[in-house]
Amino acid sequence: MVEVEQQAEEQRPVAGFVPPDGPRTIEVTEVSKWYGDVVAVSNVSFAIGPGVTGLLGPNGAGKSTILKMLAGLLTPSMGTVRVLGEPVRANPGLYRRVGLVPEQEVVYPFLTGREFVRLNAILQRLPDPEAAAAAAIARVEMTAAADRPVGGYSKGMRQRIKVAAALVHEPEVLILDEPLTGTDPLQRLQLIKLIRSLGAEGRTVIVSSHILHEVERLADQILVLVNGKLAAAGDYRAIRDKIDEHARRVRVRADDARTLAAALIRLPALESVRVDGDAVLIETGDVRDLYRAVPKVARELGIRLYEVTALDDSLASVFAYVTAR
Amino acid sequence: MSITRRAPILWLTLRQFRAGRATLLVALFAATPVLFAAIFRWSSETGDAAEFLTNQFLEILAPTILPLATLILATNALGNEIADRTLVYIVLKPVARSRLIVEKFIASALVTALAFTIGLVATWVVASGGSGSGRMLGALLAGTLAGVAAYGALFLLVSLLVPRALLVGIIYVLIWESALARFIPGIKMLSVRHFAQSVFVRLLDNPAVRLDRALQLSSATIVLAVLVIAALALATLRLRQMNIP
């Protein structure tokens, strides 16, 4: 599906993107969640099927609230949530088929990684918890560190052991809340590969992130959430093209910012270039072209790059743009 | 089959207790009667050990030391997991909420009871010079275990109802159990201490030891059992319904 649907002013729920004849493993219907006067999620509807779906939105957009409602941790103030055709609240039996990687980093620090995953296998009543734990640990490439206490793990290792724990019972539906947070580039690559393979196996995987390019590598289908409302839903490329239509600001730090700025100004889609200390501040209409050009130009000129940061990428401005359209 | 597989939540909770400082605090509370017994023995070589042990249980142990010590682990068992958000790892499993609550309760009661059993045996040996009556030791242990069970279930429930369960528990112990229940007859009948004291007094079966409005052993046992079951049932219900952040 390539359509992009924008939520209308009257807050019409955005339709999901399950093919008409496809299975609907997760169905969210007119769901709202509020805490006192604060509305965390407002009248959100979508349905998704097998494969990887990205839940994209800036911090505070309501992504975690939605995922917690999908996992049955929170009761919606209004609306219904069904997973695999069943209600999720007060339905512990459903957890045989569902796994969650929560957002928080804390994992029992006194357990080893293997003990933690095995505990999950035992609680899932698997016939051979040892073997299931070993297989899940191997799948996230944590075998070498599995017998060390989790308290000594890096953030990325904790994320991976949480994924192993959520995968140990081979769930049909996997909910991952910001699973790439704190991972180094290599770990990120491994997790992205793993998440994509889970989707390819026919599982329904929903992954939240506030980083646009992270989701691009993870999921073809995305839901964009802004201020608790579903702003867009559909194929990632179609939404990205819409986002890429507006100028984007990028900061490049280099050891010779002036020379780099002078070289970059020739790029066709550039709208403005400004040097600020060791940084070049660029506004462009084609950020992907810029990302390709910067390392190439720097290499040709022998300039060392320290940092390339998208100043409004993944931030509220991008999502605000989506909602404003 | 190992405890890990037979009772995984119990195993996890015991590991949590082993790793934390709360167990050390409980051990200190359990050691307090030993210290009092040593002071008693040192200050009065001819003092009546039975009278000392009775007064210590009725006036200090049952109303103050025991509930405070039980409070620490009972609120720790689930409260800490709610606070650090690790509760999600055990609630998102096909495990009955009642089983989760019962295993958490057993873990906290087990560790507290073990600490007090060791502490009370040592207290009994120190106070009586090793020649005290077995009935006294039995009454001390039974009264203490009854108190641990009732306070444990009650405080586990409190930890699911209020965010600052430890503080609420301390206020409850110091105001209700230690102060008001001591002086106001109506409140006395509604305090856990009175039922634990009744168990102790009835098992001691010493006419010289009197407790105002003491219940029969069977009545005290039934009330305590109902209290434990009701508190655990309410905790189960609460866990089923609560939103987990």
The residues pairing with A6 across neighbouring beta strands, listed in sequence order, are A232
Per-residue model confidence (pLDDT) at position A308: 81
Q: Is A117 on the interface with B (CB under 8 A)?
A: no
Interchain contact, B91 vs A73, CB within 8 Å:
yes
From the CA of B4, how many Å to the nearest CA of chain A?
8
Interface A-B, measured as beta-carbon pairs within 8 A, has a size of 78
- In this prediction, residue A243 has a pLDDT band, given cuts at 50, 70 and 90, of low
What is the DSSP annotation of A113-130?
HHHHHHHHHHHTT-S-HH
Cα distance between residue A242 and residue A235, in whole Å: 11
Cα distance between residue B16 and residue B23, in whole Å: 9
Interchain contact, B94 vs A125, CB within 8 Å:
yes
Q: Going by C-beta distance under 8 Å and a sequence separation of 6 or more, which residues neighbour residue A153?
A: A107, A113, A145, A161
For residue A198, count other CB atoms closer than 10 A to its CB.
Answer: 24
Q: Is A125 on the interface with B (CB under 8 A)?
A: yes
- In this prediction, residue A247 has a pLDDT band, given cuts at 50, 70 and 90, of low
pLDDT tens digits, residue range B60-107?
999 999 999 999 999 999 988 898 889 999 999 999 999 999 999 999
Per-residue model confidence (pLDDT) at position A10: 38
For residue B175, count other CB atoms closer than 10 A to its CB.
Answer: 11
Write out chain A residues lying below 8 Å of B97, CB-based. Answer: 92
Candidates A110, A158, A165; CA nearest to A137 is: A165
pTM score, whole prediction: 0.82
Q: Which of B12, B16, B95 shows the shortest C-beta gap to A92? A: B95
Question: H helices within B129-245, ranges in order?
Answer: 134-161, 165-171, 181-183, 185-188, 192-204, 217-241
Q: Which of B8, B84, B96 shows the shortest C-beta gap to A119? A: B8
Interchain contact, B94 vs A95, CB within 8 Å:
yes
Cα distance between residue B175 and residue B147, in whole Å: 17
Interchain contact, B92 vs A73, CB within 8 Å:
yes
Burial, A290: exposed, middle or buried (Cβ in 10 Å; 0-12, 13-18, 19+)? buried
Give the SS3 label for residue B194: helix
What is the rounded average pLDDT for all residues in chain B? 92
Cα distance between residue B44 and residue B33, in whole Å: 16
Residue in A with minimal Cα distance to B17 = A110
Interchain contact, B4 vs A108, CB within 8 Å:
no
Q: With beta carbons less than 8 A apart as the criterion, state whether A93 and A260 touch.
A: no
- In this prediction, residue A16 has a pLDDT band, given cuts at 50, 70 and 90, of very low
Interchain contact, A119 vs B94, CB within 8 Å:
no
Q: Going by C-beta distance under 8 Å and a sequence separation of 6 or more, which residues neighbour residue A184?
A: A154, A156
pLDDT tens digits, residue range A166-195?
999 999 999 999 998 878 888 888 899 999
Architecture of domain A2-234: 3-Layer(aba) Sandwich (3.40)
Q: Tell me: pLDDT of A236 over 90.
A: no
Candidates B55, B63, B66; CA nearest to B117 is: B66
Q: Tell me: pLDDT of B8 over 90.
A: yes
Q: Which of B5, B85, B97 shows the shortest C-beta gap to A104? A: B85
Q: Tell me: pLDDT of A322 over 80.
A: no
Joined together, the tokens standing for residue B125 give 């040996």
Q: With beta carbons less than 8 A apart as the criterion, state whether A259 and A296 touch.
A: no
Write out chain B residues lying below 8 Å of A90, CB-based. Answer: 240-241
- In this prediction, residue A73 has a pLDDT band, given cuts at 50, 70 and 90, of very high
Q: With beta carbons less than 8 A apart as the criterion, state whether A196 and A52 touch.
A: yes
- Indicate the CATH number for domain A245-324: 3.30.70.100
Cα distance between residue A240 and residue A234, in whole Å: 10
Write out chain B residues lying below 8 Å of A124, CB-based. Answer: 93-94
Per-residue model confidence (pLDDT) at position B127: 93
Cα distance between residue B53 and residue B202, in whole Å: 15
Cα distance between residue A6 and residue A15, in whole Å: 10
Q: Kindly report, as residue ranges, where domains of CATH 3.40.50.300 are found in chain A.
A: 2-234
Interchain contact, A75 vs B243, CB within 8 Å:
yes
| Distance in Å from the first CA to the final CA of chain A | 20
pLDDT tens digits, residue range B104-130?
999 999 999 999 999 999 999 999 887
DSSP secondary-structure letter at A50?
Answer: S
Residue with tokens 């769901």, as numbered in its chain? A31
Q: Is A91 on the interface with B (CB under 8 A)?
A: no
Residue in A with minimal Cα distance to B100 = A123
ipTM for this model: 0.89
For A2-16, A94-108, B178-192, which range has the lowest pLDDT when averaged over its residues?
A: A2-16
Q: Tell me: pLDDT of B42 over 70.
A: yes
Interchain contact, A73 vs B16, CB within 8 Å:
no
Per-residue model confidence (pLDDT) at position B135: 94
Residue in B with minimal Cα distance to A69 = B243
Q: How many residues does chain B have?
A: 245
Candidates B31, B29, B49, B33; CA nearest to B41 is: B49
For A13-22, B35-44, B118-127, which range has the lowest pLDDT when averaged over its residues?
A: A13-22
Interchain contact, B86 vs A108, CB within 8 Å:
yes
Window 60-79 of A: residues touching B by CB (8 A cutoff) are 68, 71-75
Interchain contact, B15 vs A108, CB within 8 Å:
yes
Interface of B with A (CB under 8 A): 4-5, 8-9, 11-12, 15-16, 18-19, 84-86, 88-97, 240-241, 243-245
Write out chain B residues lying below 8 Å of A73, CB-based. Answer: 88, 91-92, 243-245
Q: Tell me: pLDDT of A246 over 80.
A: no
Q: With beta carbons less than 8 A apart as the criterion, state whether B83 and B166 touch.
A: no
Longest dimension (CA), chain B: 60
Task: Choose the mutation target among B85, B86, B93 for the interface with A, i.e. most A CBs under 10 Å.
Answer: B93
Give the SS3 label for residue A275: strand
Interchain contact, A71 vs B94, CB within 8 Å:
no
- In this prediction, residue A321 has a pLDDT band, given cuts at 50, 70 and 90, of low
Cα distance between residue B96 and residue A225, in whole Å: 34
Give the C-alpha distances (Å, rounded to integers) separating B77 from A34, A107, B226: 29, 16, 21
Write out chain B residues lying below 8 Å of A120, CB-based. Answer: 89, 93
